[in-house]
Amino acid sequence: MTSFFKALVILDGCFDIDYKYKRSAVDQAEGVTELSTLASVFYSHLEKVLQGVSEKEFKSYFSDKTFDKLIKDYAKKGVTAIPECSKDYPLEFLCIEDRPICLYCQGNVELLKNSKKFSIVGSRKTLPQVLKITEEFSKTLSENGVTIVTGVAGGGDLSAIKGALDSGNLICVSACGADNLFREYTRDYIKKVIDNGLVISEYPPKMVAMPYYYPFRNRLIACLSSGTLVVSGNLKSGTRYTVNYALDYGKEVFAFPYNIGVTSGELCNQIIKDGGFIVTEVLDIATALGYELESKDKILLSQSETVVLSVIKSGKITVDDILAETGLKIYELIPTLTSLEIKNVIVKNGSGEYSAVK
């Protein structure tokens, strides 16, 4: 490992300094090859924010001993540190000025090298039927070799996690260090992600998430992906940061369409109005980005199931509506609806309303 590699790991792991100051110091040190000289360059740019740390004390950290101890401590926590000069550092991040100095990874780091990465994001407050559809989209894409990139929140993020978890084609981007990761709402799934996929953060293990870390984190989700699907969000949702970053980076943005007046779909409809891709089936994403999807066996439906599904697709979503439209008896309709749910063709929300999944 080069001296620059070691210096970045030490700087990022040993000093709690705002990102912008570390970024400036690192940029000024480009081309320097000696560890002690790197420390001097860093100190000259950081002296004012080091809160009384002397140059001698600061430079004492920059040694092989400090580096080896950090790497050993990280390994005990299952964390791999990947500085920006590493061959394992994502190529996508090298194109942005505010790239992480180091990535801290838990899980399968090879996923970072997949050329087909796609992000799925959404609000914590997402309609039940949309959560189900999101999970199916994530599952289909991940099973076809696309690595799903998302956060570690509930709602849309959690559905993306559930869909991609079994395939292992999943990267979750955290806004805190590994020591505090299991404080997240999705903590019951995080270990499964680490075991089957990958969790990454730009923050060393000890760091606690601050509110402003989350929108800043979203640039990594957008940058790492070829495109971003927004499944839900109101106009003030934090998801809009991911959208803005994606547009800044020249990435494609996709969104589910929503009915007028649905608050959790305001951002999605705005994206579509602004020229984003409208998505009603996973093939819309695959076609736009050139992903190949394996054809799935056609789901076989009975005559009554076909009729009921057609009515639901036309917008008749309550049991009473379906009964009126089809002429079926209640004892005929209920088993039919149950069968369609089992076949994952329709989904029922908390108000007892039905919508089509496929």
- Model confidence pLDDT, tens digit, residues 17-70: 999 999 999 999 888 889 999 999 999 999 999 988 899 999 999 999 999 999
Residue 325 burial (C-beta neighbours within 10 Å; 0-12, 13-18, 19+): middle
Residue type, 230: V
> Are the beta carbons of 100 and 84 closer than 8 angstroms?
yes
Q: What is the pTM of this model?
A: 0.81
Q: How far apart are CA 114 and CA 112, in angstroms?
A: 6
With a cut of 80, say whether residue 183 has pLDDT above it: no
With a cut of 90, say whether residue 357 has pLDDT above it: no
> Are the beta carbons of 160 and 186 closer than 8 angstroms?
no
Please state, for a pLDDT cut of 70, what percent of the chain lies above it: 98
321 contacts: CB under 8 Å, gap ≥ 6: 311
Residue 187: pLDDT band (50, 70, 90) is confident
- Average pLDDT, stretch 118-129? 92
Phi–psi pair at 81, nearest 5 degrees: -95, 125
Please state, for a pLDDT cut of 90, what percent of the chain lies above it: 71
Give Cα 99 distance to the centre of its chain. 17
Work out the widest C-alpha separation in the chain, in whole angstroms: 86
